[in-house]
């Protein structure tokens, strides 16, 4: 069965009895109560952060009151540096304090951090309550809100504690991107860019033509970027929900990127910024493995740079930079028996997961930092 079908506005992720829709529209938060995919309950909790809450919290709560007699809202501190146990516990505190039962619906209103933590809380609270993703950043709309990966960071590794837990519905309101800071928009473009090299070179060519319009927030251009990204992700997730094989290709640039995030300290580099530099490193590694040519590496580097993203990776340790990267990358969910496996480009438009000799990885780190 093909894992995705779609109408003009809606995509469907086909996961049997856990299938759900992804709605991509403008100005739809205020009408969210009309969506058929919303779970039934007498109670809802909106989880957001201190940046997004003042912008869209009241609007979402007002809409949900048409469906749920009781609607609570919780604002978490904003930022990747707060994606840990203590913040997660604030969600459980709110649920327990308000006497929320196992039918309570959680709504994640915000970026990837809010979505990951709310989904993880939903997976854990009373062993599982329904949740809905309402992503308000480009990065969350094209990547983290779709596919059911939830979790928190640990000081030793990013997203190392979590669960696969699918939302009941994803509502991407494109109008929320109007309030997104420039740096966050660029960070989101990293996750759009990755879909080209791993799956769809036509999409990469389209991005090369559309990059100025994307950065200028042309609504119709953003709509296509979000929809096509979600289509590709849905196609992959529908075949490999729990990342036993194919789904790992979605981590192109992420092994290096996660090392940058952990090594710099969470929040210093945004996730998308780290992935941008990480994709350049992964492309360079692919070239040294004889899988792509220098022209492809330069083409990808140029696109990443035009998106406003860093293409040069940071030095994490002046004494032994490559050693520090390798140490951090061994704490990676794709590592097996201490062997780091990288998503490489096996010819443009196709990705492969492969172990690489440390010596070669060291060369790439020395070249790219």
Question: How many CA atoms, within 13 angstroms, populate the side-chain half-sphere of residue 310?
Answer: 20
Catalytic, 228? Answer: no
Over range 43-68, report the average pLDDT.
98
Instruction: Tell me: pLDDT of 355 over 90.
Output: yes
258 tagged catalytic: yes
When computed from its CA atoms, the radius of gyration of the chain, rounded to whole angstroms, is 20
243-260 average pLDDT score? 94
What is the per-residue pLDDT across 179-225, written as a single tens digit (0 to 9) for each? 999 999 999 999 999 999 999 999 999 999 999 999 999 999 999 99
- On the question of pLDDT at 270 being above 80, the answer is yes
Question: For residues 286 and 293, is the Cβ–Cβ distance under 8 A?
Answer: no
pLDDT digits (tens, 9 = 90+) for 89-140: 999 999 999 999 999 999 999 999 999 999 999 999 999 999 999 999 999 9
pLDDT of residue 4: 41
Residues 282/361, Cβ–Cβ less than 8 Å: no
Instruction: Tell how strand 149-154 and strand 105-110 pair up.
Output: unpaired
What is the C-alpha to C-alpha distance for residues 272 and 141, in angstroms, rounded to an integer?
13
Where is 3: in which H helix or E strand? none
What per-residue confidence (pLDDT) applies to 267?
93
Indicate the pLDDT class of residue 148, thresholds 50, 70 and 90: very high
Question: What does the alpha-carbon distance between residue 137 and residue 185 come to, in Å, rounded to a whole number?
Answer: 7
Of the candidates 21, 75, 191, 241, the residue annotated as catalytic is: 191
Has 233 been annotated as catalytic?
Answer: yes
To the query of whether residue 215 is one of the catalytic residues in this protein, the response is no
Which of 243, 257, 254 has its CA nearest to residue 343? Answer: 254
Average pLDDT over residues 331-355: 89
Q: Which of 82, 228, 233, 301 is catalytic?
A: 233
Structure tokens at 345: 């480009």
CA 255 to chain centre: 14
Active-site entry in 75, 231, 243, 261? 243
Which one from 271, 301, 334, 341 is the annotated catalytic residue? 271
Examine the residue annotation and report whether 247 is marked as an active-site residue of this protein. yes
Task: Determine contact, residues 132/48, Cβ cutoff 8 Å.
Answer: no
Query: Among this protein's residues, is 127 annotated catalytic?
Result: yes
Cβ pair 31, 60 in contact under 8 A: no
82, 83, 247, 301: the active-site residue: 247
Q: Please confirm, yes or no, whether 72 is among the known catalytic residues.
A: no
Segment holding 171, helix H or strand E = strand 169-173
Q: Indicate the average pLDDT of the chain.
A: 94
Domains of the chain (ranges, CATH numbers): 4-179 (3.40.50.1970), 198-368 (1.20.1090.10)
Region for residue 267 given its phi and psi (left: phi exceeds 0; alpha: psi -120 to 50; beta: otherwise) = left
Q: H-type helices in 136-248, by residue range?
A: 138-139, 182-193, 195-199, 201-215, 219-239
Pick the catalytic residue from 72, 82, 83, 149: 149
Provide the pLDDT confidence category of residue 243 given band limits of 50, 70 and 90: confident
Q: Is the pLDDT of residue 316 over 90?
A: yes
* Pairing mode, strands 105-110 and 43-49: parallel
Residue 271 annotated among the catalytic residues of the structure: yes
Residue of 158, 194, 227, 254 marked active site: 254
Active-site residue identified among 80, 251, 273, 333: 251
Residue 283 near residue 292, CB atoms below 8 Å: yes
Contacts of 69 (CB under 8 A, 6+ apart): 42, 43
Segment 45-67 mean pLDDT = 98
Q: Residue 154 catalytic? A: no
Residue 1, pLDDT score: 30
Rounded-to-integer distance, Cα 241 and Cα 36, Å: 24
- The pLDDT tens digits for 296-307 are 999 999 999 999
Q: Which helix (H) or strand (E) holds 39?
A: none
- Give the number of C-alpha atoms closer than 13 A to the C-alpha of residue 160, restricted to the C-beta side: 16
């Amino acid at each position: 069965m093909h894992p995705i079908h779609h109408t003009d506005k809606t995509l469907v992720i086909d996961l049997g009895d856990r299938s759900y829709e992804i709605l991509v529209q403008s100005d739809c938060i205020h009408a969210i109560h009309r969506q058929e995919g919303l779970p039934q309950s007498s109670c809802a909790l909106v989880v957001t952060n201190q940046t997004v809450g003042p912008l869209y919290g009241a609007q979402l709560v007002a809409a949900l009151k048409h469906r749920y007699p009781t609607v609570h809202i919780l604002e978490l501190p904003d930022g990747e540096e707060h994606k840990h146990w203590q913040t997660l516990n604030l969600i459980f505190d709110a649920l327990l304090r308000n006497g929320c039962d196992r039918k309570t619906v959680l709504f994640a209103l915000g970026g990837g951090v809010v979505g990951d933590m709310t989904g993880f809380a939903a997976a854990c609270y009373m062993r599982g309550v329904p949740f809905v993703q309402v992503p308000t950043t480009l990065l969350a709309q094209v990547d983290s809100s779709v596919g059911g990966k939830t979790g928190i960071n640990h000081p030793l590794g990013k997203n190392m504690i979590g669960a696969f837990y699918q939302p009941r519905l994803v509502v991407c309101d494109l109008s929320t991107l109007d309030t997104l800071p420039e740096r966050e928009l660029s960070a989101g473009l990293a996750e759009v860019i990755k879909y080209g090299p791993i799956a769809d070179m036509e999409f990469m060519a389209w991005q090369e033509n559309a990059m100025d319009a994307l950065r200028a927030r042309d609504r119709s251009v953003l709509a296509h970027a979000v929809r096509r990204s979600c289509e590709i992700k849905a196609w992959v997730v529908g075949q490999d929900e729990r990342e036993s094989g194919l789904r790992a290709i979605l981590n192109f640039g992420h092994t290096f990127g996660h090392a940058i995030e952990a090594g710099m300290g969470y929040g210093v580099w945004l996730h998308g910024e780290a992935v941008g530099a990480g994709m350049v490193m992964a492309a360079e590694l692919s070239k040294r493995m004889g899988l792509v040519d220098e022209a492809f590496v330069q083409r990808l580097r140029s696109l990443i740079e035009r998106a406003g993203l860093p293409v040069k990776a940071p030095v994490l340790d002046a004494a032994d930079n490559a050693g520090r990267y390798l140490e951090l990358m061994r704490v990676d969910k794709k590592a097996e028996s201490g062997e780091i496996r990288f998503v490489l480009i096996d010819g443009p438009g196709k990705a492969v997961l492969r172990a690489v000799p440390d010596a070669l990885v060291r060369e790439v780190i020395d070249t790219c930092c």
